[in-house]
A and B are shown apart, each in its own frame.
Chain A
Amino acid sequence: KAGVTQTPRYLIKTRGQQVTLSCSPISGHRSVSWYQQTPGQGLQFLFEYFSETQRNKGNFPGRFSGRQFSNSRSEMNVSTLELGDSALYLCASTTYQAATTDTQYFGPGTRLTVL
């Protein structure tokens, strides 16, 4: 079974631009979560989607948004990019069969660099 895939793997943008990242979950997984990873802050939760609905949201500004499609694929968008948005963005999927005990499986991430 194929794992979580994320595209693109690397992105370079300039301040003020916007960016869209894509995530395809493991087949049969219906929940997708997004995390931002930086050396200073570690892993920070962005949001979670299930059945095309945002279920949970972290403490990020409104410039960060996402959506999920009917095939469970998800996208996240960052508008008006800032230098501090440079990070590794990780996507994780789960079956959502058990609210607290299921395992999240991660993709390889998208490395975003903002110049």
Chain B
Amino acid sequence: AQSVAQPEDQVNVAEGNPLTVKCTYSVSGNPYLFWYVQYPNRGLQFLLKYITGDNLVKGSYGFEAEFNKSQTSFHLKKPSALVSDSALYFCAVRDTGNNRKLIWGLGTSLAVNP
């Protein structure tokens, strides 16, 4: 069965430092991977996705993610964190077969300290 794991419930980083939010996946077939961000009392905002091609995917707000097939990982990164990046981050993988639903990790809370 397809699954996504976000091994860290919370990540703390100082403003200006690089940040990484980890995601690993398990899927049969080609993985289609997504990152979303959720601010308090808001819906989910799309950041980026990996479909095929270049392993480094660039997305919104300066975020990027690195796809690593051998390690089945899709870590989210940003070179220099902002306080405004503090939010809940979700990794998701598209289910295979006829069901197109997204399968979600449980989320990682990112806190960027001034």
Are B94 and A100 in contact (CB-based, < 8 A)?
yes
Kindly specify which of B13-21, B43-51, B71-79 makes contact with the partner chain. B43-51
Chain B: minimal CB distance from A97 (Å):
12
Mark B46-62 against chain A: 1 for CB-CB distance below 8 A, else 0. 10010100000000000
- Identify B32's interface contact among A101, A107, A109, CB under 8 A: A101
Are A58 and B101 in contact (CB-based, < 8 A)?
yes
Given A43-B90, A100-B32, A101-B51, check contact A107 B43 (CB 8 Å).
yes
In the assembled complex, A103 has its CB within 8 A of some CB on chain B: yes
Are A56 and B106 in contact (CB-based, < 8 A)?
no
Are A42 and B107 in contact (CB-based, < 8 A)?
yes
Given A103-B34, A107-B43, A108-B43, check contact A45 B101 (CB 8 Å).
yes
Chain A interface residue count, CB cutoff 8 Å, equals 23
Q: How far is the CA of A13 from the CA of B44 in the complex (A)?
A: 24
Interface residues on B, range: 20 to 34
Are A48 and B43 in contact (CB-based, < 8 A)?
no
Among B17-41, those with CB < 8 Å from A are 32, 34, 36, 41
Q: How far is the CA of A85 from the CA of B42 in the complex (A)?
A: 19
Are B43 and A109 in contact (CB-based, < 8 A)?
yes
Are B99 and A56 in contact (CB-based, < 8 A)?
yes
Interface residues of A (CB under 8 A from B): 4, 6, 33, 42-43, 45, 48, 55-56, 58, 90, 92, 99-101, 103-109, 111
Query: What are some 16 contacts across the A-B interface (CB < 8 A)?
Result: A6-B43, A42-B104, A42-B105, A42-B107, A43-B90, A43-B102, A45-B102, A48-B101, A100-B94, A101-B49, A101-B51, A101-B94, A103-B49, A104-B34, A105-B46, A106-B45
Top 3 nearest A-B pairs by Cβ distance?
A45-B101, A106-B43, A43-B104
